[in-house]
């Protein structure tokens, strides 16, 4: 197995990405080879500075950077030698089995759709976040930002995608799927959630348990929570804000420490033909390590194939 890592992506590139790759290598099986994509000289000197043998890694030269300020749609064709563009080329040609980056999220989404392609039957790919529950479990929330406006059939597909992710990567046999809403009754909500509730309730493909209110998100009542990307992104940023606020006030709490994005590293783009994993733009070496380890779990689970089978 080969996992490609965008060494030039994120706020702390290239140092955090190189260090994270080194940390991940120590925990991965020997048959996994890391492919470091970026400026060859930076990568080689960075590995050497950590006392690593450069030959233990595969380096692919890609000197250009797609920054957070580049337009996602135009960036990849305008910068074909960027680490993100080259990473997608390697994934499309099956030279790597997964591509992970903490770089421009929009460019990663665009590259996934146009370089790797959406699985037939998927209306819109989406991204997820893992939220810690107070009972020690975790809940998958989707979408968290890639689709601000959705129709009911899109939310239904998110439910199926989330259930497949939960089952195949997290090992939950029959994931409980809930719809985020302003009330538990099936008639509550706006036109979108009422219509989505009907689709989910009539489906035999998911274990739908009904609506879930915002106050219950962190109580472990569902394994998968579905919402549009606009709502999901607000929930995610609020959770990050609470964690940051507690840290600034010097409050140490075992549960709230689980809100730290370093613990989760990254999340796959669900609904595309390849394994594409997006990490937080502010990832340090620990977060990068965990992003790479999660990439390995996603590839090992055969998630993309499972999604393809479910929709075709």
Is pLDDT above 90 for 261? no
How many domains does one find in the chain?
A: 2
Residue 17 pLDDT > 90: yes
Q: Which 3-state string (H, E, C) describes 190-247?
A: CHHHHHHHHHHHCCCCCEEEEEEEHHHCCCCCCCEEECCHHHHHHHHHHHHHHHHHHH
Assigned domain for 4 exists? yes
Beta carbons of 224 and 210 less than 8 angstroms apart: no
Please give the average per-residue pLDDT across 85-100, as a whole number.
Answer: 97
Residue 107 lies in a domain: yes
The mean pLDDT of 264-285, rounded to a whole number, is 93
The predicted pLDDT at position 257 comes to 87
Residue 260 has pLDDT above 90, yes or no: no
What pLDDT does 262 receive?
77
Residues 138 and 212 in one domain: yes
Percent of the chain scoring above 70 in pLDDT: 100
State the pLDDT at residue 80: 95
Residue 296's pLDDT band (cuts 50, 70, 90): very high
pLDDT in the model for residue 292 = 97
* CATH code, domain with 144: 3.40.718.10
Is residue 64 domain-resident?
Answer: yes
Query: Both 43 and 157 in a single domain?
Result: no
pLDDT for the residue numbered 265: 85
Say if residue 282's pLDDT is above 90: no
- For residue 33, the model assigns a pLDDT of 98
Assess whether pLDDT exceeds 80 at residue 79.
yes
Q: Could you tell me if residue 266 is inside a domain?
A: no
Q: What is the mean pLDDT of residues 278-294?
A: 94
Same domain? 128 vs 115: no
Is 300 found in the same domain as 312? yes
147 and 199 inside one domain: yes
Residues of the domain holding 285: 1-121+271-312
The verdict on 235 and 158 lying in the same domain is: yes
Rounded mean pLDDT of 131-154? 95
Q: Return the pLDDT at 170.
A: 93
Task: Single out the residue in 222, 238, 260 at which a domain terminates.
Answer: 260
Give yes or no: residues 112 and 231 share one domain: no
103 and 10 in a common domain: yes
For residues 66 and 85, give the distance between their C-alpha atoms in angstroms, rounded to a whole number.
9
**Quick check: is 78 in a domain?**
yes
Separation of alpha carbons 27 and 47, rounded Å:
17
* Domain-located, residue 162: yes
> Do 11 and 90 have their domain in common?
yes
> What is the spatial distance between Cα 171 and Cα 149, in angstroms, rounded to a whole number?
30
Same-domain check for residues 23 and 115: yes
Q: Which two tokens stand for residue 299?
A: 């590839």
Residues 132 and 58 in one domain: no
Do residues 130 and 236 share a domain? yes
Position 242 in a domain: yes
Q: Is 259 a residue whose pLDDT tops 90?
A: no
For residue range 35-66, what is the model confidence (pLDDT) as tens digits? 999 999 999 999 999 999 999 999 999 999 99
Strand, helix or coil for residue 72 = helix
- Asked if pLDDT for residue 263 goes beyond 90, the answer is no
- Give the tens place of pLDDT for each residue, 21-34: 999 999 999 999 99
Does the structure show a pLDDT above 90 at 103?
yes
In the structure, what pLDDT confidence band is assigned to residue 238 with cuts at 50, 70 and 90?
A: very high
Q: Cα 179–184–186 angle (5° rounding)?
A: 75
Alpha-carbon distance of 106 to 103, in angstroms, equals 9
Confidence of residue 264 (pLDDT cuts 50, 70, 90): confident
Chain segment 171-211, per-residue pLDDT in tens: 999 999 999 999 999 899 999 999 999 999 999 999 999 99
Residue 265 included in any domain: no
């Amino acid at each position: 197995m080969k996992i490609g890592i965008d060494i030039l992506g994120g706020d702390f590139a290239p140092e955090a990405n190189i260090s994270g790759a080194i940390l991940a290598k120590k925990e991965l099986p020997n048959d996994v080879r890391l492919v470091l994509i970026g400026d060859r000289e930076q990568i080689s000197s960075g590995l050497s500075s950590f006392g690593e043998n450069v030959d233990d890694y595969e380096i692919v030269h890609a000197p250009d950077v797609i920054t957070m300020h580049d337009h996602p749609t135009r960036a990849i064709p305008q910068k074909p030698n960027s680490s993100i563009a080259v990473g997608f080329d390697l994934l499309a040609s099956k030279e790597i089995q997964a591509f992970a980056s903490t770089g421009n999220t929009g460019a990663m989404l665009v590259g996934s759709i146009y370089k790797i392609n959406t699985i037939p039957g998927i209306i819109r790919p989406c991204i997820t976040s893992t939220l810690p529950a107070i009972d020690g479990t975790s809940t998958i929330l989707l979408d968290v930002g890639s689709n601000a406006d959705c129709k009911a059939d899109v939310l239904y597909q998110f439910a199926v995608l989330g259930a497949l992710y939960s089952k195949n990567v997290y090992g939950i046999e029959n994931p409980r799927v809930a719809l985020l809403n302003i009330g538990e009754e099936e008639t509550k909500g706006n036109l979108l959630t009422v219509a989505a509730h009907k689709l989910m309730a009539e489906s035999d493909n998911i274990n739908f348990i009904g609506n879930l209110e915002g106050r219950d998100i962190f109580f472990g009542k569902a394994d998968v929570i579905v919402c549009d990307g606009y709502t999901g992104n607000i929930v995610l940023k609020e959770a990050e804000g609470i964690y940051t606020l507690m840290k600034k006030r010097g409050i140490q709490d075992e549960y709230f420490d689980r809100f730290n994005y370093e613990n989760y590293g990254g999340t796959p783009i669900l609904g595309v033909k390849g394994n594409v994993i997006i990490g937080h733009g502010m990832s340090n070496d620990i977060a990068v390590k965990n992003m790479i380890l999660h990439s390995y779990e996603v590839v090992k689970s055969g998630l993309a194939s499972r999604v393809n089978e479910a929709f075709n």
